[in-house]
Amino acid sequence: MQNHSTPRPGKPTRKASGPTPATPQVIDELRPGQSIELLKALHILTREGKLNQDTRRKLKQVYHLYQFIAPLLEEVSGSPQGFTLADHGAGKSYLGFILYDLFFNVAHQGQKPSGHIYGIETRAELVDKSRALAAQLGFAQMSFLNLLVADATTSAELPDTVDIVTALHACDTATDDAIAFGLAKQARHMVLVPCCQAEVASVLKKTRALNLAKTPLAELWRHPLHTREFGSQITNVLRCLQLEAHGYQVTVTELVGWEHSMKNELILASRPATPNVAKTRAAQTRLQQVLAELGLGELSVRFAVPATAEHSL
């Protein structure tokens, strides 16, 4: 007798009726206790609480960056007066908001440490939106300031010193502005993910003919594409030397895999209680030598080490 329950060849099996079980995707991606309302407001989650490919990539980058910043936050949060973190070129404050949520609401949900996160941004409309969102979510230990870097360095709205300075994908010279701010505020740590940079490339292009006559190394930036790429690379080299010349210990690594972002370089700088005088002076010398060798003398002011740094050693 034929078994009629066996499906006929070539005929698809009928699926059982009933509701499709909900995907556990969001539960797997998010941290326990993380604010769903925040992630929806930042458009990292859809209204239905889902992640698309682009927002998953953004969230992964911020999570990975948090792994580097969290130990620094734990270190500085032991201060009796509380820690301070300034996020430079904050934009929509993705980084600041998620740092706040993960550190205050997830890692320390029992008892929040004393501390404050400042978002510094030049676009007033983004500052207004961030302020409104922080008020809506009850993120009381956050402030958002509509300031240029020069104003931020001297503004009474910020403390005289800042423990941590962050800058995530700050374009062109904005990363340099963040470094200048951190140096002026005697930051203990700086966490920088530079973005596009054109200033050094423009100087290399301007002095290309002279340098080709002077050194064969100018072949490294003779072609326009190489000028742009080499300019970006040497910019970060100069930034690292500048930080080391001020006594910081610098580590350079990848933020996430290259498949997620081409702007992937992470610069971590920490100022030890007692700087290594010999290494600091050597970095000061190398910085000036590199600028001279590449014909970048007009950028000496940007990357200069003031005499006060030498006297402080």
For the chain, which residues make up each domain, given as ranges? 25-195, 198-245+272-298
Low-confidence ranges of the chain (pLDDT < 50): 1, 5, 13, 15-16, 18-27, 258-260, 311
Average pLDDT over all residues of the chain: 85
Q: What is the pLDDT of residue 53?
A: 78
Taking the CB of residue 161, how many other CB atoms lie within 10 A of it?
Answer: 11
Burial string for 32-50 (b: 16+ CB within 10 Å, else e) reads: eeebeebbebbebbeeeee
Task: Quote the CA–CA distance of 151 and 170 in Å, as a whole number.
Answer: 17
Q: What is the pLDDT of residue 22?
A: 43
Burial string for 216-231 (b: 16+ CB within 10 Å, else e) reads: eebebbeeeeebbebb
Q: What is the pLDDT of residue 65?
A: 87
Q: What is the pLDDT of residue 306?
A: 58
pLDDT tens digits for range 102-133: 999 999 987 888 999 999 999 999 999 999 99
Instruction: Please tell me the CATH code under which domain 25-195 is placed.
Output: 3.40.50.150
> Residue 72 is encoded by which pair of tokens?
């620094």
Q: What 8-state DSSP symbol labels residue 106?
A: I
Give the bridge partners for 119, in sequence order.
87, 144
Cα separation values, 137 from 126, 180, 237, Å: 17, 32, 40
Task: Quote the CA–CA distance of 292 and 141 in Å, as a whole number.
Answer: 45
The answer to whether the beta carbons of residues 84 and 118 sit under 8 Å apart is: yes
pLDDT tens digits for range 264-273: 789 999 999 9
| Nearest alpha-carbon partner for 164 in 242, 66, 59 | 66
> Residue 258 is encoded by which pair of tokens?
């290259």
- Quote the percentage of the chain above a pLDDT of 70: 86
Q: Which amino acid is at 218?
A: A
> Residue 299 is encoded by which pair of tokens?
């950028």
